[in-house]
Amino acid sequence: MKLRPLLALSAMLAVTPALAASPADVLKGELDAMVAAGELPQALVLIEQHGKPLVEVATGYADIESRKPIARDAIFRLYSMSKPITSVGVLMLAEQGKLALTDPLGRYLPEMADLRVWDGSAAANTDPATRPVTIEDLLLHRSGLTYEFMGDTPVQRWYRENGVARATAVASSGMQVPPAATLDELVARLGKAPLLHQPGARFSYGFSTTVLGAVIERVSGESLDAFLKSRIFSPLEMKDTAFVVSDAQAPRLVTGYAATAAGLRAVDRPEASEYRDPTRLRDGGGALAGTLEDYRHFAEMLAGRGVWHGRRLLRAETVEALFTPRLRTGGGEHLDAPFGYGLAIGDAGTEARGGLPVGAGSWSGSANTYFFADPAHDVVAILMTNELTPGPSEARTWKLREALNRAALAAMRR
């Protein structure tokens, strides 16, 4: 008997299961481990190519205390993953000729026509803006608008002292004036606030997309809710995406959590959620809620170069413009990426470090929702969860995104 070939075959068979672990199995193992360790409340994942699911994962709980399992139709707070939707809405108006990306913002929002710019001094002095903020500046986050929680310069302090914010679980706790109650009120306050830098100077994350929502209202003559529903949500059959979660939908809204040194803490429960308030500020930059399935439809439209199930929502050339890099976000190793009209765009550098794949367009939300769409390969990847990860817990954000990116690259055909 020839033992050597038999031993070799036995060794090969022994390692085959590990080598053959599917991307779905690997990803589920990683996410299950985070749930078991108390690092993650829940996760729903979908990775697909040409509309066919390659990876689907569900793990964890919609509510940890009651041990309610996460369901495929769960509703999540999208936070900043609202931004790509609002950006698409603005591009629709541009396609119609109702605005141009080069138009000055003051043409549509006169209260923001005469903005001044912080001069960099400790005294918070200001200079006139060297040019008007444009619609394109808002799409690219180079307007000079910021968020009150994005730092402690005199500009962010001015925001906190003057209520330049909206009430939300991710807003600054150091507000000295109540946050704005309506979109018009927030725009009026922003019109009096200093810009962080001159328009066009660099990428600065903030209320730019929120202001685009106000532009949509003024240009279309509709509320932001009505515009998004008629132009995006209804054509894409996004039946559960809205600024307000209805009584009928409320049982499907997951509990919102924040990571703390003592473990996961509930910060927004469904029964008393800000998303249940019908009067809440309609912030197109961070206030939508929706399901994985709804966002799948939106991402499929982007991956399909503007077409979803035979319905064209955007011209192919508009989608190409959306995915064209125009500046970099900066922000360090995990954040720096090329940026287009409302989306970070993957390049060789982002992919090499475990980030966004080359050519994919992506954004995320404060509670770790994350997606990308890749038109070149017709790939969509979505991760839904609702966990805020401030400070020391931020590493969980990169862990989640890198796990999804790895699984997508392993599963997709290029």
pLDDT per residue as tens digits for the range 318-366: 999 999 999 999 998 899 999 999 999 999 999 999 999 999 999 999 9
Amino acid 322: pLDDT: 97
Amino acid 225: pLDDT: 97
24-34+41-82+224-411 and 88-220: same fold? yes
Residue 361's φ and ψ, nearest 5 degrees, are -110, 140
Q: Under CATH, which architecture does the 24-34+41-82+224-411 domain have?
A: 3-Layer(aba) Sandwich (3.40)
- Bridge partners (DSSP) of residue 308 are 311
CATH topology of domain 88-220: Beta-lactamase (3.40.710)
Counting every residue written for the chain, the total comes to 414
pLDDT per residue as tens digits for the range 191-239: 999 999 999 999 999 999 999 999 999 999 999 999 999 999 999 999 9
Amino acid 59: pLDDT: 98
Domain ranges of the chain: 24-34+41-82+224-411, 88-220
The answer to whether the CB of 39 falls within 8 A of the CB of 31 is: no
- Bridge partners (DSSP) of residue 158 are none
Local confidence pLDDT in tens for the 414 residues of the chain: 444 544 444 444 444 444 669 999 999 999 999 999 999 999 999 999 999 999 999 999 999 999 999 999 999 999 999 999 999 999 999 999 999 999 999 999 999 999 999 999 998 899 999 999 999 999 999 999 999 999 999 999 999 999 999 988 766 567 788 999 999 999 999 999 999 999 999 999 999 999 999 999 999 999 999 999 999 999 999 999 999 999 999 999 999 999 999 999 999 999 999 999 999 999 999 999 999 999 999 999 999 999 999 999 999 999 999 999 999 999 988 999 999 999 999 999 999 999 999 999 999 999 999 999 999 999 999 999 999 999 999 999 999 999 999 999 999 999
Environment class of 2 (CB within 10 Å of its CB; exposed 0-12, middle 13-18, buried 19+): exposed
* Residue type present at position 203: F
Is the pTM here over 0.75, yes or no?
A: yes
Encode 392-410: b = buried (16+ Cβ within 10 Å), e = exposed.
Answer: ebeebbbbbbebbbbbbbb
